[in-house]
Structure 1
């Protein structure tokens, strides 16, 4: 009996212990369609996790979706739409390049008609300026089509967070998710606590995913400031993303678990907020 008990305790100690409930991963790159999805699911299963949803995009890494690659962009969007049609838990994330002008608008309308509700844009890899008027026009149209816009906010480019703040202010009727919550410039987003004191600045349309950044911050001297930031932007507006395949969901959830958040706060970030945002 004692030997059995000791063995059980050892097995429990060797296994990750997660908060109750599945995880909605809003930031997954599936570059090879079904093959990548199966590899992702295997990785998630090995980490002992269950999924409530997957926000999946086809581009990233070697597939940059830059200006002048409209045919590749359309084909990639079609692949992710087909993947989502075959898997009920996959939320398809399409892209266009803002500098494609009318062609970008046409592709946006096409994917929206096919059921896509999330548009991903990445200023650094796609090579555009967030403050360009063509970006504003595109995300405004996305909002009119009831699409959420996911934008990179790793703060790799100068003025990244500041430009994104101004874009959100100019287009208040479009929902935005800012990936990586500013990277190590996450402190900037505490400005929302002050901005909300002005009339008409509720920022209810603004969400953040904490992919990648949470790994660096958890257990670091910055952790207390990070928690302060999450609560200032609003826990109800914080989402979990892995940025797979660069980072696994297991490592991301483990970092979230190490943060000194309440169980209720973690449950919202793990899944509840994304389920609400995506109407699932």
Structure 2
């Protein structure tokens, strides 16, 4: 090998520099062509976005995503939360809020409108649910804490059962704020297998509870394939002492049933995407959480 190297150096010394460059070009081109192209960044679906000021909030949200280099595939957009209430008896305000988010979604193909009703409004809530479903709404958001209802109330079960019959996915808060939050939601999901549920925040800092699914699914009739989670909040535990437990829980509940959420504007999408990227998950698992699971659930196409 030493003699070959020496001979090569002597040959290069006798060749003009331009000739040497011409000899090197084909090899350079071959080397470039042999390097696989970097895969295009996959879109992100954020299932938990509060647009408190309608189109203005959406514009701010999209600007934040662009600044962070995030390609948005879509958002689950809701109008209530924060200063916007949806309390029992406010049927006119609820209808107006739902109409606003439906109209906004009509201007953006990637926006999945999340309507709301109040379970205590009984038949009026059921009628409003049917109305928004006929307008194309695929997502119903309910928040027991801010709307002040008990998940065990029979009117809640009647409402979410009807949502399933109409093909509407139910997104319910599961931040663990209320006593018995996880247990009541678990039982509701079991009682209404025909409805698809997304539990927001996956239990918050009490996410460990949902490892119960690993055991529940060993029993007959407890597949609970209708249960999904958004990980707004807990995803930020990346690089914390709890990360390993969070990853273990995500795999126990089923990666195919986990969605990315930001809870904007309280928490930002860029922080959620960055934290997901740092979790000790495979690239395939992250891609499912970032986009593919939501695309399958809501029948979306990549932008």
Q: TM-score range by the shorter chain?
A: over 0.9
Find the counterpart in structure 1 of residue 140 from structure 2.
119
Structure 1 residue 203, shift from structure 2 partner:
0.9
Q: SS of the counterpart of 2:82?
A: coil
Find the counterpart in structure 1 of residue 251 from structure 2.
231
Q: Which of 163, 178, 189 in structure 2 is aligned with 1:168?
A: 189
Structure 1 residue 213, shift from structure 2 partner:
1.8
TM-score by length of 2: 0.85
Q: How do residues 157-196 of structure 1 correspond to structure 2 at under 5 angstroms?
A: 157-196=178-217
**Structure 2: runs of 5+ lacking an equivalent:** 1-38
Find the counterpart in structure 2 of residue 30 from structure 1.
51
Q: Highest Rg: 1 or 2? A: 2
Report if aligned partners of 2:115, 2:137 keep a CA contact under 8 Å in 1: yes
Q: SS of the counterpart of 2:184?
A: helix
Q: How do residues 1-12 of structure 1 correspond to structure 2 at under 5 angstroms?
A: none
Q: Which of 50, 62, 71 in structure 1 is aligned with 2:83?
A: 62
| Residues 220-256 of structure 1: per-residue CA shift (max 9 Å, x gap) | 1111111010000000000000000111100111111
1:250 aligns with 2:262: no
Structure 1 residue 22, shift from structure 2 partner:
1.2
Find the counterpart in structure 2 of residue 140 from structure 1.
161
Structure 1 residue 20, shift from structure 2 partner:
3.1
Q: Which has the higher contact order (CA 8 A, sep 6+)?
A: 1
Q: Which of 176, 188, 199 in structure 2 is aligned with 1:155?
A: 176
TM-score by length of 1: 0.92
**Structure 1: runs of 5+ lacking an equivalent:** 1-17
Whole-Å Cα distance in 2 between the matches of residues 240 and 177 of structure 1?
A: 11
Structure 1 residue 19, shift from structure 2 partner:
9.0
Find the counterpart in structure 2 of residue 83 from structure 1.
104
- Structure 1 vs Structure 2 CA RMSD: 1.1
Whole-Å Cα distance in 1 between the matches of residues 40 and 217 of structure 2?
A: 32
Structure 1 residue 86, shift from structure 2 partner:
0.8
Whole-Å Cα distance in 1 between the matches of residues 241 and 222 of structure 2?
A: 31
Whole-Å Cα distance in 2 between the matches of residues 258 and 245 of structure 1?
A: 22
Whole-Å Cα distance in 1 between the matches of residues 54 and 281 of structure 2?
A: 35
Q: Which of 119, 130, 142 in structure 2 is aligned with 1:98?
A: 119
Q: Following TM superposition, where does structure 1 have runs of at least 4 consecutive aligned residues deviating by more than 6 angstroms? A: none
Structure 1 residue 214, shift from structure 2 partner:
1.3
